[in-house]
A and B are shown apart, each in its own frame.
Chain A
Amino acid sequence: MIQREQAPPIFPLEKISFIEPHIFDITQSVKLYWMEAVKDETTRVELHFDAGTIRGDKKLASFVNSLLLSGTAEKTSTQIHEDLDGLGAFIDHEIAQEIAIVSLYCLRENVEAAMAILLNAIENVAFHPNEVSDLLRERKQHFLVSSEKVNILVRRAFQKQLFSNLPNYSRQLQLEDLEEVSIPDLKRFHNEFYLQGLTKVVVVGNLESAYIDRLIDAVGSWSKLAKPEFESEIVHIPGRLHVEKSDAVQTAIRMGIPLFNKKHTDFLDFQILQTILGDYFGSRLMSNIREDKGYTYGIGSGLAEANHMGYFIIATEVGKDVAEATLTEIRNEIEKLKTEPVPAEELGLVKNYILGQLLKSADGPNAMMDLFMAVQLHGKDFDFYNDAIRHVQQITPERLQQLANQYFDWDNFTIVTAGAQV
């Protein structure tokens, strides 16, 4: 008979084999990163622009990003999409505070043709008035729908409280922003932040190196000449704020503090601390608030990073009757980290879990590239992860407790709730 009570032995992670991308200079500061080691037919190309939502006036950045494939003098948006779909290509455009990214996903046999269509569309976008008004109409509906969601309401209010000193980081779309937009402003933004705003190109695919050269030639003229500037200090408003939505059956909670990014010497150790608190399924917040109390479907924490700063958040949606009880429990869990050392068994589990997750996040060429880009942003390379493995192996309960005391001060948290007050 097999011994089912006895767990099989665990073998520790020995090493992670990292694969470096090739790096090409487009200009002195703009580079192309190419992960060639792809065994299948897929190709991903990303163009990074200094065109995030902090740039320009109001919501220009987000409008221009959405309108990139909205048609040129020669082609309508539908024709452009027909051409791209004809090559089986998927296009994604996403925008965050400090960056806008346009991504192409296709088979490698089609990458050159699809990229040519994409670049032509971006370069010659005409901002046809009817396309602009379509966008405003669609955005307005989306805005109204998302305004019904407590997790969106809480996020908007939280951003305002957190980035209180940085109007470009905290500004929110207002309904009146969607009434009209000046087409010359859109064109100016596009010219400044796209046609002269390229900051990076990322390629994952088993392509010919001659194509990489041609791609560099094709996008080179869009390179941003000056180094983009970003803010480096967050001044937040601590304390509670409530957004009332009287018909909500759940209350969304979002709380956080300004912190740091990978450049800070405490980053790696803090990551371990916040994993214990709320960043995996067995975390203390999940164990207490979901698995013990049943207050929520999920609760989590995370460290959000920007170019020169970062912040720590905890977020959840809970039954409206237990919103206050949830905050009490979050506070208890934070206090516990400050006053009691993390037990050896729990720490051992978290160490293995984090290393296993690192192994997973390095699995396959696309994941490997993402891993590289995440540290490259902060001027680091794969050594960062070898360093991370050492930090995980060596961290002690005392160090975690010291970090908790150094960074967690309940009164310093910005705490926002959205839902029905009970």
Chain B
Amino acid sequence: MIQFERFTLENGLRVIFHQDTTTPLAVVNTLYDVGARDESPEKTGFAHLFEHLMFGGSVNIPDFDAPLQHAGGESNAFTSNDITNYYDILPAQNIETALWLESDRMLSLGFTPKSLETQRSVVIEEFKQRYLNQPYGDVWLKLRPLAYQVHPYRWATIGKEIKHIEDAQMEDVKAFFAKYYNPRNAILCIAGNFELEQVKTLVQKWYGDIPGGIRPGRMLPQEPVQRAYREETIERKVPSDAFYYAFKMPERKSMDYYVADMLSDALGRDKSSRLYASIQKEQKLVTEIHAYVTGSLDNGLLIVDGKLSPDVTFEQLHKALWKELDLIQAEMISETELNRLKNKIRTAKEFQEQGLLNRAMNLAYFELLGDADGINQEQFVYTAIQSEDIQKMANEILNPDNCSLLKVKAI
């Protein structure tokens, strides 16, 4: 059970406080409700580029990292298709340094041309390092637009192409900040050995006078229901053929999300999972195979991916895979298998929640979903799932009409 308190400032900033009396550290986690899905199709990769610029100095403080390091702390951030999340970890006695820095960059950035030029180059190198200079590195740049035709999930957080990053202008940066970076669009989570009143005083002190702004509306084009199988083959200089089956699945806020998540575990999480045991170990058609979910807020994807063994064709794999997918639709999974999945989820959750940072991040994320207490409810949702729920979900989503397949052909 993770305890927390919540309060809201007059400017609309939502604050979660998690007390941990055992740690000498503090975490200040700030989630902004903006991600790559909020970008315009002509200016993709912007939310992520912007995340880099958030470290380039704010209106009253020329450098973000140095004062934090001077206080014994460190900081990082990530951008997903849905959110942008920033965190600082530092000795608890210096928490004010983090609040000073975070509140100032919520107030306004420095917007220096040098910062934009440098981070543009850094992000382009990141694009190369992660997406272009790795075997299979560009798969998600191809799979997303195959699976999504309308929804902004059709591009990756790094952006559709390097050109969009090259073209970013300072006026775009300022407009993006004005629209999304304000107290009303953020959730602040503070964790550590503090008292609630102390946290309220500090947060009021540093964030209280920031203008609340307007919570930006979000009207995203909704992806129409997929009604036909899609397939695309790309040829790449890679050592072996690879496959990526993407099935549309329920949105993050729905109870069915958890069922689909467990279905993916049954298919391909561990070495006792169905696809691993059957297709890799027994039939030896692949050298690796996995199933997992993207976990996105809007309708996500359940992915089955892997690499073919030498001399095995895509058709052989396709047949064997659909046999397994048909089986999980036709027959309910056993009580033993169900318990195995639940036990793994329970252990993983217990380990995840050991870390102060994980707890702080997850509390902010669940608050975004609607209620930070979701962090405590999640396990009951998983526990309540029955074999028939998984079978029903399998029948709903594991259909060819709901599937997009990307093949990477080795040349």
Chain A contact residues, CB within 8 Å of chain B: 1-2, 4-5, 7-11, 13, 16-17, 39-42, 77-78, 81-82, 84-90, 105-107, 110, 134, 137-138, 140-142, 144-145, 147-150, 247-250, 280-282, 290-297, 317-319, 348-350, 352-353, 355-357, 359-360, 363-364, 366
Contact = CB atoms under 8 A, between A and B. Distances in A.
Contacts of A250: 125, 128-129, 133
Nearest to A286: B65
The number of chain B residues touching the other chain, given as a range, is 35 or more
Given A282-B65, A294-B125, A360-B74, 5 more contacts: A10-B72, A11-B91, A137-B310, A352-B69, A353-B70
B133 A88 contact: no
A249 B128 CA distance: 7
Nearest to B342: A88
Contact of B67 (A4, A7, A148, A364): A7
Interface of B: 22-25, 59-61, 65-67, 69-75, 89-91, 93-94, 96-97, 99-100, 103-104, 107, 117-122, 124-126, 128-130, 132-136, 205-206, 209, 237-240, 270-272, 277, 281, 284, 287-288, 307, 309-310, 336, 339-340, 343-348, 350-351, 353-356
Contacts of B288: 138, 141
Contacts, number: 208
B133 A317 contact: yes
B287 A141 contact: yes
16 contacts: A9-B96, A40-B350, A82-B272, A82-B340, A85-B343, A107-B350, A134-B281, A145-B240, A148-B238, A280-B74, A282-B66, A295-B121, A356-B72, A360-B74, A363-B356, A364-B355
Contact of A357 (B59, B72, B287, B346): B72
Contact of B71 (A40, A318, A356): A356
B384 to A, nearest CB: 17
Contact of A86 (B66, B237, B340): B340
A88 B343 contact: yes
A150 B107 CA distance: 42
Contacts of A88: 340, 343-347
B240 A144 contact: yes
A81 B271 contact: yes
B281 A78 contact: yes
Contact of A42 (B74, B310, B350): B350
A142 B59 CA distance: 48
A231 B351 CA distance: 37
A39 B22 contact: yes
A134 B348 CA distance: 28
Contact of B272 (A78, A248, A290): A78
